[in-house]
Every structure is written in C-alpha cells, then in structure tokens.
Amino acid sequence: MKGRGWIRLQRVADAQAIRKKIALLEQELIAARTDKHAKLHEIGLQLRAYKSQLERLELCISALQSLRSAQVGMSVLGEH
C-alpha cells in the first residue's frame, strides 16, 4: 500500500494537469467566435467541471498536508 506522501504527490500532479487543461480551455474560450454559442456553452461546462475537480483535489492535498504537519509536530514532541 502506498503512503500518504506518494498519494499527495499524485494529487499534486493531477491538480497541475487540471490547471493546464483549464488554461487551455480559457484560451479556447477567448479565441472562440461568439457566433458559435453551442461551443461556448460546451467550453463553459468543461471549465466548471474541471474547476470543481480542482477544488476537490486541492482540499484533498491540504488535508494530506495537514495530517503530515500534525504527525511531524507529534514526533517533535515525542508523542506517537
């Protein structure tokens, strides 16, 4: 079984990939012609989904980081 550190690194990599996708979609949204309303709508839906996924990943990453910080603090105090 993988440790929390490995899982956190995977989540960070996932978050970076989603940020890249969001940036590409935002560029596409800016470049899209306004007469293609259906395409604009589809891009908007994708952006919303990716941003929601990114938010969940960031919560997961911060929770994993908080657990690690708590463990480091406990080990410094000599508690287990």
pTM confidence score: 0.74
Can you tell me the distance from the alpha carbon of 11 to that of 35, in angstroms, rounded to the nearest whole number?
Answer: 38
Alpha-carbon Rg for the chain, nearest whole angstrom, is: 19
Structure tokens at 72: 């480091």
Can you tell me the distance from the alpha carbon of 77 to that of 72, in angstroms, rounded to the nearest whole number?
Answer: 9
| CA 30 to centroid of chain Cα atoms | 22
Residues 41-53: pLDDT tens digits? 899 999 999 999 9
Low-confidence spans in the chain with pLDDT less than 70: 1, 34-35, 68-80
Of 41, 1, 5, the closest CA to residue 25 belongs to 41
